[in-house]
A and B are shown apart, each in its own frame.
Chain A
Amino acid sequence: MQIITHACTKCGTIVSANELESNRVMKCPGLGCQNVVRFDDLPADDREHFIENRERYDI
């Protein structure tokens, strides 16, 4: 199963695609980081793959 992540450009905190997708737009979860991370920050291919296989990323 492809595991997709995104690293915050400000603090380096790595966020999984399922977390990004469930929030779409969110404050970086890195403590004290004010950066905003978005599902749309992921490359288009990764977003498409995730959305096509969304049920596999849910528990």
Chain B
Amino acid sequence: MIGKSHLSMKGVLLSGGTGSRLRPITHTGPKQLVPVANKPVLEYAIEDLKEAGITEIGVILGHKGREEIQDLLGDGSEYGVEITYIVQGNPLGLAHAAGCAKDFVGDDDFVMYLGDNILKQGVVDLVESFESGDHGAGIALQEVDNPQQFGIADVDSAGNVTELIEKPDEPPTNLALIGMYVFSPAVFDAIERLEPSWRGELEITDAIQTLLEDGYAIDSHVVEGWWKDTGKPEDILEANQLVLEDKSLRKEGTIESDATVDGRIELHETATVEDGAVVRGPVSIAEKTVIKSGTYVGPYTSVGANSTLDGVHIENSVVIGDSIIEASGRIVDSLLGKGANVGSADEFLPEGRRLIVGENSQLKL
């Protein structure tokens, strides 16, 4: 095995991509800023890296959402980290993104974290597992029921990766790569020797395979808790459920005396649940949002800032913010973009629903 020299650990947080599967939500912003339990997905990644003792973070930017991401994260000081921005431009693959971070990383090891992923356990165990031996890389794996649809790792009894196979017909294991990696700087030499794949990208699995062929030990760490890639609307809803289920929620806002509030509620100090409203947790309600009389907010719902809910029944949904929802019907399993308003058509003739719907919207009426 070839050894590695360990100085310190940096983080490389991938925040590019078009977010096409999350349209229309991502027509006006990057997918990494879609909130889960009223917090942008990207902030969970920053917190996970910090929890692992990683405070120097390179944020990879694509074409979309550069300003919004920089506007949110700034120089990182609000999060207790130091951020360097790295503009990848064309989406030439994960290995290209890593390669763009070479000067930032220098001679250090680094965690590469996909900014639209969220996982229960964070990356502390992944980093500790990598650091426990002399590894060229470490990969996070999770057991899946359909390994034919994933990149799969074969591992030996010591947990070292012996082979990576993309979407195998006959998978040797059910251990799928989930998009969290630790690399030694040796990966940059491997990336330099890569050729673009059939889809024109530098593949990170090819870089890891090259490290294997060069004689480096590749560590594996099986993630036991949940993990979500939040690339699609249903993933956002599921991630919202998982985070609300686990998160410590604080009830700091105003609950009027004749409101009914059960279960665990996160209520911002400037939010209000008015008389006659019912809220059943787990629920998160952000700043300056008002839940009015006759409204029911059911489990696994997050309502973003500056919103008003009046008379609606809503559950298992994410309202990103700046919304007015006044319809008397039931809204379930829904993702409402920023500034989306839902009113009642009860008083209008002819009877019927009235829609102003943007490109790529999905409605079930």
- Distance in Å from the Cβ of A58 to the closest Cβ of chain B? 7
List A contacts of B84 (CB < 8 A): 12-14
Given A5-B102, A16-B100, A22 and B89 touching (CB < 8 A)?
A: yes
In the complex, chain A residues 1-16 whose Cβ is within 8 Å of any chain B Cβ: 1-3, 5, 7, 12-16
Q: Which of B91, B103, B194, B196 contacts A5 (CB 8 A)?
A: B103
Contact (Cβ within 8 A) A14 B104: yes
B261 within 8 A of partner (CB): no
Residue from the set A2, A5, A56 with the largest chain B CB neighbour count within 10 Å: A5
In the complex, chain B residues 72-115 whose Cβ is within 8 Å of any chain A Cβ: 84-92, 96, 99-104
> A14's closest neighbor in chain B, by CB?
B86
B258 within 8 A of partner (CB): no
List B contacts of A31 (CB < 8 A): 66-67, 70-71, 85
- Distance in Å from the Cβ of A15 to the closest Cβ of chain B? 5
Residue-wise, chain A 9-50 has the 8 Å CB interface mask toward B (1 for contact) of: 000111110110010000001110000000000000000000
Given A1-B196, A5-B102, A18 and B92 touching (CB < 8 A)?
A: yes
B33 within 8 A of partner (CB): no
Contact (Cβ within 8 A) B100 A3: yes
Residue from the set A13, A14, A29, A30 with the largest chain B CB neighbour count within 10 Å: A14
Given A1-B202, A58-B90, A30 and B103 touching (CB < 8 A)?
A: no
- Distance in Å from the Cβ of B208 to the closest Cβ of chain A? 16
> A15's closest neighbor in chain B, by CB?
B87
Q: How many residue pairs bridge A and B at CB < 8 Å?
A: 71
Interface size on A, as a range, is 20 to 34
Contact (Cβ within 8 A) B87 A14: yes
List A contacts of B191 (CB < 8 A): 1, 3
Contact (Cβ within 8 A) A30 B85: yes
B61 within 8 A of partner (CB): yes
Bound-complex Cα distance A42 to B92 (A): 20
Given A13-B87, A18-B90, A59-B92, A3 and B192 touching (CB < 8 A)?
A: yes
Q: Which of A3, A30, A59 contacts B99 (CB 8 A)?
A: A3
- Distance in Å from the Cβ of A36 to the closest Cβ of chain B? 15
Contact (Cβ within 8 A) B100 A14: yes
List B contacts of A30 (CB < 8 A): 70, 85
Contact (Cβ within 8 A) B85 A29: yes
B195 within 8 A of partner (CB): yes
- Distance in Å from the Cβ of B152 to the closest Cβ of chain A? 25
Contact (Cβ within 8 A) B102 A56: no
B200 within 8 A of partner (CB): yes
List A contacts of B200 (CB < 8 A): 58-59
Residue from the set B87, B89, B102, B200 with the largest chain A CB neighbour count within 10 Å: B87
> B200's closest neighbor in chain A, by CB?
A59
Bound-complex Cα distance A34 to B310 (A): 46
A-B contacts, 10 of them at CB < 8 A, read: A2-B192, A5-B102, A7-B103, A14-B86, A15-B87, A16-B89, A16-B90, A19-B89, A30-B85, A31-B67
8 shortest interchain CB distances as A-B pairs: A19-B89, A3-B99, A31-B70, A14-B86, A15-B87, A13-B85, A59-B90, A18-B89
Q: A16-B90, A59-B200 are in contact. List 19 more A-B contacts (CB 8 A).
A: A1-B99, A1-B195, A1-B202, A3-B100, A3-B191, A3-B192, A13-B84, A14-B58, A14-B84, A14-B86, A14-B100, A16-B89, A22-B89, A29-B61, A29-B66, A31-B67, A31-B85, A57-B92, A59-B91
